[in-house]
A and B are shown apart, each in its own frame.
Chain A
Amino acid sequence: MCQVNEEDDEIFQALKSTINKTPTNRKCMSCDEDACVIVRIADPMCRKCFEEFFIHKFRSTLSKSNIFGRGEHVLIAYSGGPSSTALLHLIAEGLSVNARRRLQFQAHVAFIDESSLYPDAIDIREKVIDRITNQLHYPLHIVSIDDNLDNDNTLKKLLFQQTKSLTAREELIRRRKLKLLFDIAIREKCTKLITGDNCTKLAAQILSDMAQGKGAHVALECNLTDTTNDLVTIVRPFREIMSKEIAMYNRLNSIESLQNIDISTMSGIQSSIFKLSETLVNDLQRQFPSTVSTIFRTSDKLEKNLKSERCDLCCYPLDLDEDQSLLSDQDRIKLIHQLFDTRSDSNDPVHVCYACRRLLRDVQPNLQSNQE
């Protein structure tokens, strides 16, 4: 076991030598101006070149494979956070009449409102409406996280009384949000769904998924275009951009994200599997600045699982044999129909993937109010 440390040490040193450099007195690597930004490990840049680099990266990702058809209806998932705010800003610029290579799609924006789940959440709907409808003039679709459920209390009760771990709570919300976004997209005849996932977040997501037995979906979940849903393709134009770069871009352009409350802001760093994974990635990234990009490159070398049978909970392809994925517990079946099936009263059999099966172990299925 000891040898390991020595080998790791060498890698450690090699990685470490690339950091300790500061932008002080350094020149921009592209032109010769004084540097003010350090993007990748040791590349100082001036403001102008950074912005050019950033926008170029975003635009080249999008134009890479001619993802969007002319006039195609596209739904942008907006959360109010830094990533999706920057995304919206860049898309608005790309769509504007005087853009250089103008984007040609029809933008819609979706906002999933989680405020009903938390007692002292600030309602940011007004701000969202102001930003999207009044300033950008895009069609805006706001849906509450407990939309379409019989009783307003159902989801809240399920999450906070019947779900025993924060991991399960977070994962249920994540799955429900995705489901709602797909529903809006289909209803509005949007064939693409753009999300603000950046590679820092995706790297944490990869580890978190691995830890929860969701390895089968890692390759799809990080791909630029994700065909999990047959009708709506997820597009991730920020997948190669770091959260730090986004923060920098926002700061330089005085772009303000909206203070939003969600399940993850309410919890400590050791409280859920995603939080733990995020902490690990951030810690390692600080010590070894190539961590995020390495994790990401690993996922790029993986084959996408494109099995057509999908999990009824997370929408991703099933990774279990049919008899193992079939749910038999009537209460859990009912629960999944209620929360995740838009055709609510169907009696179809429910199949779930390995990770969702684990997740359901943390959920008390009884929706009836039989608790004291």
Chain B
Amino acid sequence: MPSTICVSCRGERSAALVRPKTSEPYCKICFFQAFEREIHETIVKEQLFKPGETIAIAASGGKDSTVLAYVLKLLNERHSYGLNLVLLSIDEGITGYRDDSLETVKRNQQQYDLPLIILTYKELYGWSMDEIVKAVGRKNNCTFCGVFRRQALDRGAMKLSVNKIATGHNADDIAETILMNILRGDIARLKRCTSIITGDESDDNEVSVIPRCKPLKYAYEKEIVLYAFYKRLDYFSTECIYSPNAYRGNIRTYIKDLERLRPSSIIDIIHSGEQLIVKPTTKLPVQRICERCSYCSSMPICKACLLIEGLNKGIPKLGIGKTERYRKEMQQKQDQCCNDQSLCHCMKEKLTVTEQN
């Protein structure tokens, strides 16, 4: 079979793959270079980092965070960013659940020669998820895992006094989030989900204390997978065993169909999202600081501190299911639990049940 020529080195090497972003044939070496160069350009153009900063890479062992860690390490050396990179993983303390992904992160630490810090819920909150479930039962633990998970990275980063957290959100994630927020009318998150730096879109009214950034914002998921594959990166693949339901499933299919008609669709959606300006009259919650832990909160005492107090006093119901409005907020927030590919405890339950059947 006559081989196609790589469009980038123009025949020096034959093409090994078709780049999803451009639908053009590339050789491996040119694809790696293009992929890395684009992330570098994003970092420079958006001024994501300053020399001397310590950056915590949120490491879950999944493909996005593994590629992020690998590429940041590489670019930091290649372009002398002058950054101190640290891998930061959170262990919720759910027996058996984190084992595989933490093992992957530990191997990454060796492979990339980056310091790794694993913080447990026990260290961060004084309670592991297993202990919480024992104390509050299975019905209510969702409140805890939602609140605790959202704050865990931040609290970990505060504890280690890093300057920024880098997360593995890719272009597909962001495009999907933009459309999802339009369809559910979630204007606060819509506003935040496109910004490449600052507050984290996971929080509705608790803006992160530590700035976050998404260096892979313009990287296609397909390219991240290809990159990890051809570079033989070691990652832990968490395939969701549940097919996405009506709402999100519809949106995913829609984006796939759009890409088929126009391969640039994902980037086009992100451009659209970046152009949206939320009316100043639309009320966004006021931010203050928790009296106990100095974490951002819209109330005098933050949700996590309230929950911890309840646990410590043996009245875990404190802070759960307060008002209808709060319940609704939680509903939206819990959505986030899974964006970093982790399960909450209740779902782990479900998993076991399904396996038994």
Contact = CB atoms under 8 A, between A and B. Distances in A.
Interface string B263-296: 0110111011111111110100000000000000
A215 B179 contact: no
Interface-centre pick from B179, B254, B267, B351 (highest chain A CB count, 10 A):
B254
Interface string A1-22: 1111111111110000000000
A276 B178 contact: no
B246 A297 contact: no
A354 interface: yes
B184 interface: yes
Contacts of B269: 210-211, 213, 215
A302 B246 contact: no
Nearest to A361: B264
Given A211-B258, A273-B258, A276-B261, A298 B182 contact: yes
Given A215-B275, A270-B257, A1 B240 contact: yes
B278 A302 contact: yes
A214 B178 CA distance: 14
B250 A7 contact: no
Given A5-B244, A272-B261, A276-B254, A207 B182 contact: yes
Nearest to B332: A7
Contacts of A303: 277-280
B258 A276 contact: yes
Interface-centre pick from A6, A9, A276 (highest chain B CB count, 10 A):
A6
Nearest to A277: B254
B334 interface: yes
B250 A5 contact: no
Interface stretch (A38-46, A155-163, A279-287, A333-341): A279-287
A216 B334 contact: no
A225 interface: no
Interface in A195-223: 206-207, 209-216, 218-219
Contacts of B244: 1, 4-5, 8
Secondary structure call for the A interface: helix
A284 B262 CA distance: 23
A146 to B, nearest CB: 26
Contact of A4 (B258, B268, B335): B335
A360 interface: no
A301 interface: yes
Contacts of B68: none
Assign chain A's interface to a size class: 35 or more
B58 interface: no
B137 interface: no
B347 interface: yes
Interface stretch (A181-189, A229-237, A288-296): A288-296
A11 B184 contact: yes
Contacts of B182: 206-207, 210, 295, 298
B183 A295 contact: yes
A358 B269 CA distance: 12
A307 to B, nearest CB: 11
Given A8-B245, A12-B247, A214-B272, A301 B279 contact: yes
A227 interface: no
A216 B257 CA distance: 23
A139 to B, nearest CB: 39
Nearest to A296: B185
Given A3-B343, A207-B179, A284-B250, A276 B268 contact: no
B240 A2 contact: yes
Given A273-B262, A295-B182, A298-B187, A215 B331 contact: no
Given A1-B341, A2-B240, A4-B335, A218 B276 contact: yes
B338 A4 contact: yes
B184 A305 contact: no
B96 to A, nearest CB: 16
Contacts of A207: 179, 182
Contacts of A301: 187, 278-279, 282
Interface in A348-372: 354-355, 358
Given A276-B254, A295-B182, A215 B248 contact: no
A257 interface: no
A209 B350 CA distance: 39
Contact of A305 (B238, B240, B275, B279): B275
A269 to B, nearest CB: 10
Contacts of B338: 1-4
Interface string B179-195: 10111110100100000
16 contacts: A1-B341, A3-B334, A5-B244, A11-B331, A206-B182, A207-B179, A213-B272, A216-B272, A273-B258, A273-B261, A273-B265, A276-B257, A277-B254, A280-B251, A298-B187, A354-B271
Interface of A: 1-12, 165, 167, 206-207, 209-216, 218-219, 270, 272-273, 276-277, 280, 283-284, 287-288, 291, 294-295, 297-298, 301-303, 305, 319, 354-355, 358
Given A1-B240, A9-B245, A303-B280, 17 more contacts: A1-B242, A2-B347, A4-B335, A5-B245, A5-B248, A7-B332, A11-B331, A167-B262, A206-B182, A210-B178, A210-B272, A215-B274, A215-B275, A273-B258, A288-B246, A294-B183, A295-B182
A-B pairs, 10 with minimum CB distance:
A215-B272, A213-B268, A216-B275, A3-B338, A303-B277, A1-B240, A215-B275, A294-B185, A3-B337, A210-B272
